[in-house]
Amino acid sequence: MPAVTFDIVWPDGSQDQFYSPSTVVHDYFQVGQGYALADFVHRSQTALTLASKRVEQRYGRPCSLALRQLQRVEQKASIFMDQPNAQVTILANDH
């Protein structure tokens, strides 16, 4: 199962990199695209949960690393939730 990382820019200009155990994230994020913060969180929840489930189907247990990445996304996003028009931009998702 090919793993990928995806690089993002948060609303404050800081950058982060997240891991997915599956290329399913390619279905949810386009490089160069900006997403409203809530949409980005929702897409991350969907993509990383699906990635974890793919691991579970193959190896018999969910991917704890993918679920921890989702927690990181949610925690960092909570900092910006009160900012109107907060956006997250995808820098890369093909590592």
Q: Determine contact, residues 42/24, Cβ cutoff 8 Å.
A: no
> Is the confidence at residue 94, as pLDDT, over 90?
no
Q: Which residues on adjacent β-strands are paired with residue 34?
A: 89
| pLDDT interval class at 6 (50, 70, 90) | very high
Q: Which segments within the chain are labelled E, that is strand?
A: 4-9, 15-20, 34-36, 87-92
Backbone φ/ψ region at 19: left (φ over 0), alpha (ψ -120 to 50), beta: beta
Q: How many Å apart are CA 39 and CA 36, to the nearest integer? A: 5
The 10s digit of each residue's pLDDT in 17-73 is 999 999 999 999 999 999 999 999 999 999 999 999 999 999 999 999 999 999 999
Amino acid of residue 46: T
> Is the confidence at residue 85, as pLDDT, over 70?
yes
Read off the pTM: 0.92
Tell me, what's the pLDDT at 7? 96
